[in-house]
Structure 1
Amino acid sequence: MARRDYSSDVAMREAMAAVLRKGRSILNLKAFVEESLGVDAWNRLLAAQPQTDRSVLVSVQPDCWYDMEIHARINRAICDVLYDGNLAAAESLGRFSAERDMFVMCRRIMKFMSTSLIFQLMNVYWRQDESCGLWHTRLVGHDLVATLSGWRVADSVLCRRILGYIRRTLELCGVALDLECAEHDECCALGDRSCVFRFRWQHQSEPALVSEYADKFSRVPELDSLFRSIVDIAHVRLSFPYVETWVQSGSSGELTSYQSFGVKRSGIVHSYLLQIGNNRMGRLDVEAHDDSRLDVLGDMIPWLAQMLHDALLSSEQTTTLRSFHLRLRLAQRAWKLTLRETDILELLLRGLTNEAIAKRLGLSISTIEQYVTRILDKSDTRNRSTLCWVFWIEL
Structure 2
Amino acid sequence: MLSRLSPEERERLSNIDPGAWYDVRLMGQVMDTIAQEFQADEALMMEIGRYDADRELSGVHRWFMRLMRPSFAIRHMNLYWRRSHDTGTWRSWQQDSEVSAELRDWAIASRPMCVTVLGYLGRMLELFGGKLGPLEHPECRAQGAPACVFRTHLELSTDEPRPGRRPTRADVCAVARELAQYPDPGSLVEAVLTLLRFQFGCGWVELWSNGPEDRMQLLGASGEQASGERRRFVLELAGRTVGRLEVELPRGLRQGSVDEVLNELVPWFAVALEVARKPQGEPPELQEKESELKRRLRRARDIAQLTPRQVEVLELVARGKTNKEVAAVLGRSEGTVEVHVTNLLRKYGASNRAGLVAMFWGEL
TM-score normalized by the length of structure 1: 0.48
Distance 1:149 1:269, change over 3 A: farther
Note if contact 2:9-2:26 (Cα within 8 Å) is conserved in structure 1: yes
Note if contact 1:272-1:285 (Cα within 8 Å) is conserved in structure 2: no
Distance 1:323 1:91, change over 3 A: closer
Which of 260, 264, 277 aligns to 2:225? It is 277
Q: What is residue 137 of structure 2 aligned with on the other side?
A: 184
Note if contact 2:172-2:264 (Cα within 8 Å) is conserved in structure 1: no
Q: What is residue 123 of structure 2 aligned with on the other side?
A: 168
Which of 152, 165, 182 aligns to 1:238? It is 182
Query: Any idea what the Cα deviations from partners look like across 1:106-145, whole Å, max 9, x if unmatched?
Result: 5466356333201233111111222221111122332100
Q: Confirm whether residue 84 of structure 1 aligns to residue 28 of structure 2.
A: no
Query: Any idea what the Cα deviations from partners look like across 1:136-167, whole Å, max 9, x if unmatched?
Result: 11223321000112224321011001101111
CA distance in 2: counterparts of 1:269 and 1:61, whole angstroms: 43
Q: Confirm whether residue 67 of structure 1 aligns to residue 49 of structure 2.
A: no
2:137 aligned partner, one-letter code: H
Which of 146, 149, 152 aligns to 1:193? It is 146
Pairs within 5 Å for 1:17-36:
none
Query: Any idea what the Cα deviations from partners look like across 1:32-56, whole Å, max 9, x if unmatched?
Result: xxxxxxxxxxxxx223311101111
Which of 314, 317, 322 aligns to 2:254? It is 314
1:284 CA displacement: 9.0
Q: What is residue 140 of structure 1 aligned with on the other side?
A: 95
Note if contact 2:91-2:103 (Cα within 8 Å) is conserved in structure 1: yes
CA distance in 2: counterparts of 1:274 and 1:282, whole angstroms: 15
Distance 1:224 1:173, change over 3 A: farther
CA distance in 2: counterparts of 1:49 and 1:188, whole angstroms: 24
2:11 aligned partner, one-letter code: S
Note if contact 2:24-2:107 (Cα within 8 Å) is conserved in structure 1: no
Paired residue secondary structure (1:128): coil
Q: What is residue 2 of structure 2 aligned with on the other side?
A: 46
Q: Confirm whether residue 126 of structure 1 aligns to residue 81 of structure 2.
A: yes
1:203 CA displacement: 5.5
1:91 CA displacement: 1.3
Paired residue secondary structure (2:135): strand
CA distance in 1: counterparts of 2:129 and 2:139, whole angstroms: 26
1:228 CA displacement: 3.7
1:88 CA displacement: 1.9
Q: Superposition RMSD on alpha carbons, in Å?
A: 4.6
Query: Any idea what the Cα deviations from partners look like across 1:253-278, whole Å, max 9, x if unmatched?
Result: xxxxxxxxxxxxxxx99977787625
Aligned residues: 238
1:194 CA displacement: 0.8
Distance 1:199 1:222, change over 3 A: same
Distance 1:286 1:79, change over 3 A: farther
Note if contact 2:74-2:94 (Cα within 8 Å) is conserved in structure 1: no
Q: What is residue 334 of structure 1 aligned with on the other side?
A: none
Note if contact 1:75-1:158 (Cα within 8 Å) is conserved in structure 2: yes
Q: What is residue 202 of structure 1 aligned with on the other side?
A: 155
CA distance in 2: counterparts of 1:284 and 1:104, whole angstroms: 31
Q: What is residue 35 of structure 1 aligned with on the other side?
A: none
CA distance in 1: counterparts of 2:221 and 2:178, whole angstroms: 17
1:193 CA displacement: 0.8
Distance 1:283 1:228, change over 3 A: farther
Pairs within 5 Å for 1:302-341:
309=250, 313-314=253-254, 318=257, 322=261
CA distance in 1: counterparts of 2:78 and 2:261, whole angstroms: 34
Distance 1:283 1:231, change over 3 A: farther
Q: What is residue 156 of structure 1 aligned with on the other side?
A: 111
Aligned residues: percent identity?
24
CA distance in 1: counterparts of 2:234 and 2:127, whole angstroms: 25
Paired residue secondary structure (1:84): coil
1:132 aligned partner, one-letter code: T
Distance 1:226 1:152, change over 3 A: closer
Q: Confirm whether residue 113 of structure 1 aligns to residue 68 of structure 2.
A: yes
Note if contact 1:80-1:86 (Cα within 8 Å) is conserved in structure 2: no
1:286 CA displacement: 9.4
Distance 1:66 1:229, change over 3 A: closer
2:182 aligned partner, one-letter code: L
1:183 CA displacement: 0.4
Larger-Rg structure: 1
Structure number with higher relative contact order (C-alpha < 8 Å, ≥ 6 residues apart): 2
Distance 1:234 1:59, change over 3 A: same
Paired residue secondary structure (1:66): coil
Distance 1:182 1:281, change over 3 A: farther
1:62 CA displacement: 3.4
Distance 1:272 1:59, change over 3 A: farther
